Structure 1
Amino acid sequence: MKTTVYLSLPLFFLFFSCSSDTSPNEPEPSIDEIYFPPLNSDTWETKSLADLGWNTSELQPLLDFLEEKNTKSFMILHDGKIVVEAYMNGHNSNLPWYWASAGKTLTSTVSGIAQEEGLIDINNKVSDYLGTGWTNATLEKENLITCKNLLSMNSGLDDTLGDDVSSANLQYKADAGTRWAYHNVYVKMQDVVAAASSQTWSNYFNSKLRDKIGMTGQWINLDNLSVYWSTTRSMARFGLMIYAKGIWESNRIISESYLNEATSTSQNINEAYGYLWWLNGKSTYHLPALQFEFNGELIPDAPEDMYAALGKNDQKIYITPSKKLVVIRMGDVADGVNFALSTFDNDLWIKINNLIN
């Protein structure tokens, strides 16, 4: 099928040398050097592959791999500027696509904003905001569940009962904090923010995050889940704001301290999980629907400091501060149905490394 690629200047891409080893001498992002595309505009500055000294012969193999793996769009930003922007398999820059669980990071971010505004405290019980009876657990067990437990995926509620998050389906499995399980109960944080702000979740999200960084898109309810849909560039705008440590141009969107907390290990069971963010570079990790620990890094061929928003069927935001990179992938599933991490993640990073090394 036809692939549409937008090249920056002579060629396209971005990146720096990238491998699973992160040199301590590599610079961290500097706000003064980060480019932000203007609000309400299609203008977005670019960098060329040649300017970055990348391996130009590896560009087409990467694009061929992406197209073969059912990708619809792919972007690489370097310090905010586009180095690669490619659309394929019938997609284009104006079409929205679903974030799936990559959108969990939107909920994490807006929860942090609500906390900074004094509307919530993530250390408080969920029932402080939703009232009692929001689960099917006993009052004693329900009151153990904090907002932080929802953000960390260790609520202790039974993850085997499907996506329904009605109170009848939120049943006790273990005490909060004692069991990590990938569970859609995190969406209750949207209800917490809505209740605390006396607004709908969408209105609060739009005013505090979406509109401030020039995103488009909307939350759509599908099968009792609130799923975000947007263009690829809107996903890239969010990734860029996170890469810039919560800044958009001269405006502070969310505190750097909260983001640092959100992108660090949030509990003592799954080292590779923060507040709805996946973390590379840890010695062990857990996966959705499984209750055992894997040794090694989440994505061995990705940089150790990389953290990611990972969604069903391979929706991806990779953020790598040491390499000054934000990488976006949207599309259909690459190989087989998955909830977050897949073998495609590491295969893709091998191709990216071939390009940038």
Structure 2
Amino acid sequence: MKLHSLFILGLISLLTISCSKDGEPNPIPEENLYFPPINSDTWETISPTDLGWNTNELQPLLDYLEEKNSKSFIMLYNGKIVVEHYMNDHSDAKIWYWASAGKTLTTALSGIAQEEGLLNIDSKVSDYLGNGWTSAPIEKEDLISCKNLLSMNSGLDDSRGDDVSPENLDYVADAGTRWAYHNVYVKMQDVIATASNLTWSQYFNTKLRDKIGMTGNWVDIGGLSVYWSNTRSMAKFGLLISAKGKWENTQIIPENYLNDATTTSQNINLAYGYLWWLNGKQSYHLPQSQLQFNGTLIPNAPSDMYAALGKNDQKIYVIPSKNLVIVRMGDAGDGENFAVSNFDNDLWGKINAFIN
């Protein structure tokens, strides 16, 4: 009887460990994550059959992606590639732009620079750039912190286009009182360059890109710094984020900072952290709008998902509860958009059919 009781207790403990309180599998421990070699094209794979996924739904997923103007699609489970597919005249060697999905690279470097003591995101931007980086009155400009840039609540006018020259950065509201999707976040790249006494690209390459074996470069497009790379580089960054900023045994992005970055950063747009979009919140705002929409950002996606979203459906989805990182690059799936689109929810319908 005692042996039988011990077996039952052990079984209950195992079930408790393997499932979270909401019934989803708990994330795999960090020590079991796979990381591809930095200076190699090698990347281990795992079969969807071994994961118990519905392989009959894989081809419909890939067909949908191709129909929706996708160029590449990667799914990682526990760091290993489950699906890697190229379409519409794209390949693993070709590069594509991250658009605003690359905002999260600026988030990452801000955390690294703060950990190195080069800056404090709670400090005002003018501490690093001097006064006059906007057209706002000095007393209003001095309200804008680095954290405001990362949270999209600088209070600056978002209707003047992509140019972030001082004459286009007009005061609309006090920092922290208005959320607006705005390219003024790139001023954080200037802050980091000034604080590090390096160019933005030099600091990025040294502190992040080269440490995890990414490829790619920043390209100036109309005054904005846009990252271009192959799809695997985007997946490597997603893997780094899913590993809480750690690559193998090296902590690259501080974990506490990354936790803050993927948590609601202000009380206006609940679905926004530090340039990361957050699913599962009660309401959300969208680019170029001051309207609040009730409900979760992407209903079909897991509630704990956070995402780097770029113009015309560049995507990095990170789903801790499912040990998944998913990357999509390509042209717009459902008409030109700046971040979230109907494509997100429809794509997740296809993904769910596959992984469930």
TM-score in terms of structure 1 length = 0.93
1:202 match: secondary structure: helix
| Cα distance in structure 2, aligned partners of 1:301 and 1:335 | 17
| Cα distance in structure 2, aligned partners of 1:341 and 1:314 | 8
In structure 2, the residue matched to 1:270 is 269
1:223 CA displacement: 1.2
Q: What does 1:34-113 correspond to in 2, within 5 Å?
A: 34-113=33-112
| Cα distance in structure 1, aligned partners of 2:24 and 2:286 | 32
| Cα distance in structure 1, aligned partners of 2:262 and 2:28 | 16
| Cα distance in structure 2, aligned partners of 1:333 and 1:259 | 29
Cα RMSD of the aligned pairs, angstroms, is 1.0
Residue 306 to residue 22, structure 1, CA distance change in 2 (3 Å): farther
| Cα distance in structure 2, aligned partners of 1:209 and 1:29 | 24
Q: What does 1:141-152 correspond to in 2, within 5 Å?
A: 141-152=140-151
| Cα distance in structure 2, aligned partners of 1:144 and 1:335 | 38
In structure 2, the residue matched to 1:16 is none
Instruction: Deviation per CA, 1:177-236: give whole Å up to 9, x if none.
Output: 000000000000000000000000000000000000000000000111100000000000
Q: What does 1:169-188 correspond to in 2, within 5 Å?
A: 169-188=168-187
Residue identity opposite 1:356 in structure 2 = I
1:269 CA displacement: 0.2
Contact kept in structure 1, 2:24 and 2:321, CA below 8 Å: no
| Cα distance in structure 2, aligned partners of 1:301 and 1:93 | 28
| Cα distance in structure 2, aligned partners of 1:145 and 1:188 | 11
1:335 CA displacement: 1.4
Residue 22 to residue 283, structure 1, CA distance change in 2 (3 Å): farther
| Cα distance in structure 1, aligned partners of 2:27 and 2:64 | 30
> Are residues 1:291 and 2:290 paired?
yes
Q: Which runs of 4+ in 1 moved over 3 A?
A: none
Larger Rg: 2
Q: Identity rate of aligned residues, in percent?
A: 71
Instruction: Deviation per CA, 1:282-315: give whole Å up to 9, x if none.
Output: 0000000000100000000100000000000000
Instruction: Deviation per CA, 1:92-113: give whole Å up to 9, x if none.
Output: 0000100000000000000000
Unaligned runs of 5+ in 1: 1-20
| Cα distance in structure 2, aligned partners of 1:205 and 1:74 | 25
> Are residues 1:323 and 2:345 paired?
no
Residue identity opposite 2:45 in structure 1 = T
Contact kept in structure 1, 2:101 and 2:314, CA below 8 Å: yes
| Cα distance in structure 1, aligned partners of 2:21 and 2:292 | 24
Q: What does 1:346-357 correspond to in 2, within 5 Å?
A: 346-357=345-356
Instruction: Deviation per CA, 1:54-93: give whole Å up to 9, x if none.
Output: 1111011000000000000000000000000000000000
Paired residues, number: 337
Contact kept in structure 1, 2:153 and 2:179, CA below 8 Å: yes
